[in-house]
Structure 1
């Protein structure tokens, strides 16, 4: 294995930057993944809540505008289109024809529905029970597993707030005969005023949330990689020009001075640490040259003194 001490200065610096980069990428990936997942959920939640409010508007329109116009006919005939839940479901299916909303699903999951297509499954039934136990909770969201894959859902409680709803859901005897003929008398009865009977839910495949987050994460990390790669190149160029090259020239000058070259000198115009090192080297070189000159004069004096004594 190559030892760190055997590496060049530029290589050591690059290795250090790479280690810092890898550590930063790992840490930022974890943090960014959490933030981007949250942002993706927030965006989908906003869109889902807008759809839910639209469905509530359809329900209110059906109850307050459509039903009064058909009150005489409804006294003898049951029309599914006048049921708010039915209208909302059908309108939402029209929404799903738009590619933007094709992956969204809408359901009024009910514990005891008239139409069994609205029957709450085990998970949905637990949500309804939670709404019953925590009456102050007006909304919940999260992920759930299904045979078709994981789903991200948003749910709100369905509460009976109008007595008119009980005309069809109190007892089979009070319900229109045509409704009994269509759905039977076993389901959708026994509801009470102010009772939470179900959960209004909009869901979307979890992969849609994760895919959006992954795309954003890859884009951001890609920008980081490109920016850091450019930074490494620029730092290495700067290091080579202002540190490595001056140090190499200084080493050559020091080697020449060690071989007895009195003219070995190194010049750097910068005022940074390399410039200070060059000034110190030149002072040392000057001091060494003066010392060599004094030594040479001392030797010359000794030789002259020896010649005079011999005479």
Structure 2
């Protein structure tokens, strides 16, 4: 309802809403893009800082490995024993850590650098769970070199760089294979359990760098809010300008022409009136077209009034003829419908007894058998045959026989349900279809019918009372059967013959 009311509302209101929505969408899109670019710039700067820290410390490692140790070791080996160990000049990792600690004291920043390892020699280099997971992936995937991710640590965002570190070389196994082979001073310094049991080729360390993003992201948020306020002010100003221009140049002239057009449309005396010509080429063309239309309408109305009266007289005559023809067709259609109903009734009922005929009964039997099979419900059938009916016709006449058949039909219907089907199969033979009725239930129904027939009295034309009996054969289908119609009919027929052979006036169930 609200959407329809808006679609049918004033053009000015709709355009104002559309302009506002487009301005808002454009501003929001601009702010989102700028925010994304600035955040990406902050991440790029963090990535560059991490690279600088990494390159600096790798340079320290390179200096230790290629310059310091090669110059000191030949001299030191002449004056120290194999058990000697001093990490100050023998461990580049120790040196990098100490230099980084001095760097943080001189220039305090929330940077993080660690050459981490699992079971590191120094507890200060022990990897946390995130770093341990990266080290395990390095040893599973030889092609992995580094990983970058933005992590939230203690409620603050950090840019995290993890890079593949040292692989265990054969020359390093003396200090990392077992405590017995390592220098005793090293074992005394770090203990007999840390950083031992390494294998050749194993990635034993990774470089972990964290660059804080909180300040950069906060600056991005501040700039985003400043931009949002500025854009909002600009959009509001543009919206006001557009609204005022549209109001003066478009909506006021349109409302004036709409009011005049409404008068021309609603009041006959205003036909031929003209509207003032507004400014603007498009609005002027609309006004000229409206004035031309008003004049033409005045001319057409004057010409049409006489024609309308003539046409009205002709249409009245034609309308009367159409009503007469429609009445005749409705009568014919009703007669056809009544005739069709009679034909349908005759096609499925027996003319004498008004019970269903054999064809309708067999069709209903097929349908009920399918339904019983689909839902797994029982279905029973009883075939009824009057005993010695030929004697009734011979003794009392065919009129009495017909009366017996009619009375039998009425009596049987009185004890059957609405869903049961009672049909005359031919002559004095009838059939009863009992849906959702078991063998025991069908036998009880058949027995009630037999007792009812035995107690009936039908008066012949000469006043004599005709009494008669019937034999019934009952057969049923249940979920153990195949639900085939023909075997069911045959079983019921055999049951009927068994009842006749057993002395008639009885019910036999098979």
- Fold match, TM over 0.5? yes
CA contact (8 A) 1:66 1:82 kept: no
What is the CA–CA distance in structure 2 between the aligned matches of 1:161 and 1:220, rounded to whole Å? 53
> RMSD between aligned alpha carbons?
4.0
CA contact (8 A) 1:36 1:216 kept: no
Counterparts of 1:235-254 in structure 2, within 5 Å, are 235-251=242-258
Equivalent residue in structure 2 for 1:89, among 84, 97, 119? 97
Equivalent residue in structure 2 for 1:270, among 270, 276, 280? 280
* Correspondence for 1:57: 59
* Correspondence for 1:197: 204
- Asked if 1:70 corresponds to 2:80, the answer is no
Per the alignment, in what secondary structure is the counterpart of residue 88 of structure 1? helix
Deviation of the 1:248 alpha carbon: 3.6
Pairs aligned (count)? 291
* Correspondence for 2:382: none
Change in CA separation of 1:166 and 1:60 when aligned onto 2, cut-off 3 Å? farther
Equivalent residue in structure 2 for 1:115, among 105, 114, 122? 122
Deviation of the 1:50 alpha carbon: 2.5
- Asked if 1:280 corresponds to 2:325, the answer is no
CA contact (8 A) 1:78 1:176 kept: no
* Correspondence for 2:470: none
CA contact (8 A) 1:63 1:84 kept: yes
CA contact (8 A) 2:31 2:227 kept: no
CA contact (8 A) 1:110 1:198 kept: yes
What is the CA–CA distance in structure 1 between the aligned matches of 2:171 and 2:233, rounded to whole Å? 64
* Correspondence for 1:309: none
What is the CA–CA distance in structure 2 between the aligned matches of 1:161 and 1:227, rounded to whole Å? 63
* Correspondence for 1:48: 50
Change in CA separation of 1:232 and 1:93 when aligned onto 2, cut-off 3 Å? farther
Gaps of 5+ in 2: 304-510
What is the CA–CA distance in structure 2 between the aligned matches of 1:283 and 1:92, rounded to whole Å? 90
Per the alignment, in what secondary structure is the counterpart of residue 50 of structure 2? helix
**Larger RCO (CA under 8 A, 6+ residues apart):** 1
Equivalent residue in structure 2 for 1:139, among 123, 146, 155? 146
What is the CA–CA distance in structure 1 between the aligned matches of 2:106 and 2:263, rounded to whole Å? 81
What is the CA–CA distance in structure 2 between the aligned matches of 1:109 and 1:84, rounded to whole Å? 14
Measured against aligned partners, the alpha-carbon deviations of 1:91-149 in whole angstroms (never above 9, x if no partner) come to: 334444576x8122011111122111111122221110011101101111224455575
CA contact (8 A) 2:271 2:294 kept: no
Change in CA separation of 1:63 and 1:16 when aligned onto 2, cut-off 3 Å? same
Per the alignment, in what secondary structure is the counterpart of residue 60 of structure 2? helix
* Correspondence for 2:186: 179
What is the CA–CA distance in structure 1 between the aligned matches of 2:111 and 2:136, rounded to whole Å? 24
| Worse-matched range after superposition: 10-19 or 211-220 | 211-220
Change in CA separation of 1:275 and 1:57 when aligned onto 2, cut-off 3 Å? farther
CA contact (8 A) 2:87 2:94 kept: no
What is the CA–CA distance in structure 2 between the aligned matches of 1:8 and 1:94, rounded to whole Å? 73
Deviation of the 1:284 alpha carbon: 3.6
